[in-house]
Chains A and B, each alone.
Chain A
Amino acid sequence: MLRYILRRIMQFIPVFFGVTLLLFLITTILPGDPVALRAGEKKLPPAVYAEMRHAYGLDKPWYAQYVDYLGKLSKGDLGTSIASGRKVVDIFKETYPYTLRLALAAIVLEILVGIGAGLVSAIKQYTIWDTLVTLSTSILVALPVFWLGIVLQYIFGIQLNILPISGASSARFTAFAHLILPAITLASVSTAYAARIMRSQLLEVQSQDYVRTAYAKGLSPSRVLWGHEMKNALIPVVTFIGLDLGAMLSGAILTETIFNWPGVGFTIYRAIGARDFPVVFGGVTLVLLAVLFVNLLVDVSYAFLDPRIRYGAANEG
């Protein structure tokens, strides 16, 4: 088991370097000058301009900047924002809890509604419930997320005027109210996928020999469902939800932008617009580490739940 985990970690190292390097290559050709942008309308004196570029290391070639960045990263330093002068680590310390809060709310919805709908759909196969679930998941998957967010804002925020449509709040009750619409928007597509996977897995498991054996030895249908079928059918669903949590931690740019949610995605998106490289790099590095960490967690738990993965992976090379 330990060897498996180590092997997975080793595989992430080239991915990490690959992505950060790629990011560097893209941003070095980005047009726009962050120092000039910060100065705004005023023209900076050439000496001050050169000094500022030097202070942020922008006068060095890109590979030197990349080495600098890796060196700082190893000490836990992500640099300083060019636009605001604040430490990048501090900026994300502030925004990550919001992203985390939104992601967890969406995951809870995904588990409750997704697994629930998939379960109902599989148990009541070929009934109106099954058709309803299948149809609504198809529609949800084809729905543009940002459109759903705007329509929800319109209905619940403007027409009915019962829910806040912008920003986040820290007071206990209003925090929850602010969370509802963004969480539904963010969870919509994944909930549909979770329901589909749950349904197809359960249907597949139902025709397995061990399920027939369980019935044959006289277990009640609910015992078979919860004790035998669900146990196995849930594995791929758990994997999917885990990977999805990883994806959500990378900040939901669309959802966060629509609802002005002060999370990671929104921050990175604004930083790209301002050509604030340190914030972009720092944000993407954190996002990448979070995604890789969650993926690793999913892989390991999967290998833990299903021994075939462990042994199979060892042979595959």
Chain B
Amino acid sequence: MTRDKDIVIDRAEGHAVKDYRSGMPSTPPTQPEEQHAADENRTLWGDAWYRLRKNRLAIIALVWLVIVAIAAITADAWVPQTFGSPTYFDTAKVAAQRLQSPSLEHPMGTDDIGRDVFARVVYGSRISLTVGILAVVVSLVIGLILGSLSAFYGGFIDAFIMRVADIFLAFPYILFAILLLSVLPENLRGIAPVFLTIGILGWPSIARVFRSSVLSVKENDYVEAGRALGAGDIRLMLRHILPNAVAPIVVYGTMSVGGAILTEAALSFLGLGLPPGSPSWGGMIQDGRNYLTSNPGVVIWPGLAILSTVLAFTLLGDGIRDALDVKLKD
């Protein structure tokens, strides 16, 4: 009962309550426009969203990613009907349909066996977004568990986990991915092994970022207070440390999606990612390499698709970093 009353009093004071509840260092109300916003009594995330909305580049990036995601999800409903299948081709008509220049019917032209480049670029976004996001999820799961164990228990566990992380980081990244993927039999190739490989290779950086952020949160008084009140390790970790250490991970995770998309493209380019013929952006660039002079679009468009999507994830990550006021090493 008394506790509820405290909060009500805090609410009456407006600005102060935000700092009290989020556990963030207090920021003095500088501009009058922020004064008004502060009165609305938002959470840490509400605050961040408010600041993010004012970052024009981040919003453009977000809008672009939403467009790409919608195109990827709805592709089946409109792409094959309007532009043709991204994978099917008619052997009899290849000669007539191949390597056409851009036209109304094929806005980006056609590739060496007559498939519509635009359709393939749109379907490529499915592969890239799926691999990018799932790879980061895999890294996050491994990285968060190992990073928190490392920071929470310290000592031998910490030293061991960090040495294993060193081992992963010392090995040339792309070489490792190539080795892991070439182990795979031909019939098992697909999206899963690619995002699992990229995800497994990405955990050490996440573990390190999370470890240092848990280490800094661990020292706070409210953690000590929780312990003094008899909270167990798991409760302390889940209720007190995790929610406050998560901001750097959100930023790092957003940026990592872009990196994972680049890696998938590189692996597919080397012929180790998705099976041949699938509309992966990296694979399209490899396939189109020899036909650059006939229709440069077969290489240019998938490249621009990778560039714009990765750039959008980076800019969005930058925006979230500024909005959450997180300091990450460059």
Spell out A's residues near B (CB within 8 Å): 11, 14-15, 18-19, 22-23, 26-27, 29-31, 138-139, 141-147, 150-151, 154, 158, 193, 196-197, 200, 247, 250-251, 253-254, 257, 265, 268-269, 272-273, 280, 284, 287-288, 291-292, 295
Contacts and interface: CB of A to CB of B under 8 A. Distances in A.
B178 A26 contact: no
Contacts of A138: 311, 314-315
B266 A144 contact: yes
Contacts of A139: 307, 311
Most chain A C-beta atoms within 10 Å of own C-beta, residue among B170, B179, B282? B170
Interface in B123-174: 163-164, 166-167, 170-172, 174
Contacts of A22: 167, 171
Interface string B9-41: 000000000000000000000000000000000
A284 B289 CA distance: 29
B300 interface: yes
Given A144-B266, A295-B170, 5 more contacts: A29-B183, A142-B258, A145-B266, A147-B285, A151-B303
Given A144-B282, A144-B306, A197-B330, A150 B179 contact: no
A143 B307 contact: yes
Closest 6 CB pairs of A and B: A147-B303, A142-B311, A18-B167, A142-B310, A250-B172, A144-B306
Given A144-B282, A193-B330, A15 B170 contact: yes
B292 A292 contact: no
B185 interface: yes
Nearest to B155: A317
B262 interface: yes
Nearest to B166: A15
Nearest to A139: B311
Chain B facing A: main interface SS: helix
Interface residues of B, number: 38
Contacts of B262: 142, 144
Contact of B182 (A30, A142, A291): A30
Given A146-B269, A250-B172, A287-B172, A18 B300 contact: no
A154 B288 CA distance: 12
Given A150-B299, A250-B172, A292-B170, A23 B179 contact: yes
Interface in B271-297: 282, 285, 289, 292-293, 296
16 contacts: A23-B179, A30-B179, A30-B182, A141-B314, A142-B258, A142-B307, A142-B310, A142-B314, A144-B282, A147-B299, A147-B303, A197-B330, A200-B330, A253-B174, A272-B178, A284-B175
Given A15-B163, A138-B311, A254-B266, A147 B306 contact: yes
A139 B312 CA distance: 10
Contacts of B163: 11, 14-15, 18
Nearest to B315: A138
A128 to B, nearest CB: 16
